[in-house]
Amino acid sequence: MTHPASPTFRTLDLGETLFSAQAEADTVFRVESGHILLFKTLPGQRRQILAVLTAGDYFGLPVCGRRDCAAACLSPALVAEWPLAALPPRTLRLAAEAHLAAAMAAMLDLGRKTALERVASFLMHLQRRRLDLPLRISLAADCLGLRVETISRALHQLQRDGIILNPAFDGTSMILNPAALEQIAQGRTLGGALPARPLSSPPASLAPGSAI
pLDDT in tens, 135-154: 888 888 888 888 999 999 99
Alpha helices in 15-171 (DSSP H): 89-112, 115-128, 137-144, 148-160
Q: Which CATH class is domain 8-91?
A: mainly beta
Domain boundaries along the sequence of the chain: 8-91, 113-185
CA distance 123 to 37: 16
Q: At what angle do helices 115-128 and 148-160 cross, to 10 degrees?
A: 80
Contacts of 192 (CB under 8 A, 6+ apart): none
Residue pLDDT, tens place only, 152-194: 999 999 999 999 998 888 766 688 999 999 999 888 755 444 4
Domain 113-185 classified CATH 3.40.50.12780? no
Cα 195 from chain centroid (whole Å) = 28
